[in-house]
Amino acid sequence: MGSWGFVFLAYGIVWGCIVTYLFALKRRYRCAEEELMELRTTEELSDHGKK
Amino acid sequence: MKREQSRKRGARFLGALALIMIAVGLYWGLVQAPPDALQGEVQRIMYLHLPSILTAYLSFFLVFIGSCLYLWKREKRDDNLAHSAAELGVLFTALTIIEGSIWGKPTWGVWWTWDARLTLTAILLLIYSGYLMLRSLIDDEDRAALSAAILGVIGFLDIPLIHMSVYWWRTLHQPPSILRPDKLPWENVHPAMLTALAINFVGFLLLYFYLLSLRLRLGEVRSEIKARRLNQGAY
């Protein structure tokens, strides 16, 4: 592999890993927010039921 | 709700700014900066390598601060900061080791060697990977946070060792070119190389704070879910 090959390998791995982590983090965040919304809705419904 | 929306807007702005700086940094690092007189084009890996490790150091410093504050005040907010920063620190340390390995092959002739700085950096990665594992292995949240905070404080001691390792031991890894006590950065490095390095470092910092803001918010949402589930159990 030539010099540029090593450079592109390093840049490719680094940015590939960072972008993958970013998407994984966003997916985890979206799932957690959906779960929280569900919980809030369930609590509101049970509060209405009590009243 | 308004605070939430302004936080989201701030994070988006930070993300956009990071993207612009990273694009400019790539241009400077791959096109504008000249090749090194001895190493040639492969030296361009430095524009990733140095910002990555400095970002990892910053991250572990935040783990240290968050852990100390948690040990003192026992507030979930500080534990969330330490936990979020540890996850990002592990990512940036792993990337630093990978970049260093790819840079090492054409310059040293090996992908890996048990050099003092490399070994201590690998130990740093193990310490904070252990930190994340420890948190996931202990069910009691408060005990997990307490044990992790102790490890977060002790683990930080490895960073001064890494920095000083090139002075204290005979190592294959070169001594610092930028953070030298005897010379100013611009006396030692070509201005175009220094500019490329500075732009990439700012890009990494902006990206880091963008990722940290997302990770902190995730921690907050998870805490709220746990609290609400506990409340539901109490009904």
> Nearest to residue B219, comparing CAs of B53, B80, B24?
B80
Provide the residue range defining the domain that includes B134: 47-234
Q: Please, are residues B102 and A10 in contact by the beta-carbon 8 Å criterion?
A: yes
Identify the pLDDT of residue B69: 97
Chain A nearest CA to B217, separation (Å): 8
- Indicate the number of domains in chain B: 1
Query: Residue B225 is nearest to which of A10, A25, A39, comparing CB atoms?
Result: A39
For chain A, domain boundaries: 1-51
Inform me whether the C-beta atom of residue A31 falls under 8 Å from chain B C-beta atoms: no
**pLDDT grade for A49, boundaries at 50, 70 and 90:** confident
Is position B35 within any domain?
Answer: no
> Nearest to residue B190, comparing CAs of B41, B21, B34?
B34
Residue of A nearest to B88 (CA): A21
Q: Calculate the average pLDDT of chain B.
A: 91
Q: What is the dihedral of CA B54, B186, B170, B125, to 10 degrees?
A: 10
Cross-chain residue pair A14–B26, CB shorter than 8 Å? no
**pLDDT grade for B77, boundaries at 50, 70 and 90:** very high
CA A13-A16-A25 angle, 5° bins: 135
Residue B98 pLDDT > 90: yes
Query: 17-46 in B: which are within 8 Å (CB) of A?
Result: 26, 30, 40-42, 44-45
Is position B17 within any domain?
Answer: no
pTM for the model: 0.91
Query: So what's the ipTM on this one?
Result: 0.89
Chain B nearest CA to A29, separation (Å): 5
Q: Determine the 3-state secondary structure of B36 from DSSP.
A: strand
Is position B222 within any domain?
Answer: yes
| Rounded percentage of chain B residues whose pLDDT exceeds 70 | 97
Identify the pLDDT of residue B234: 53
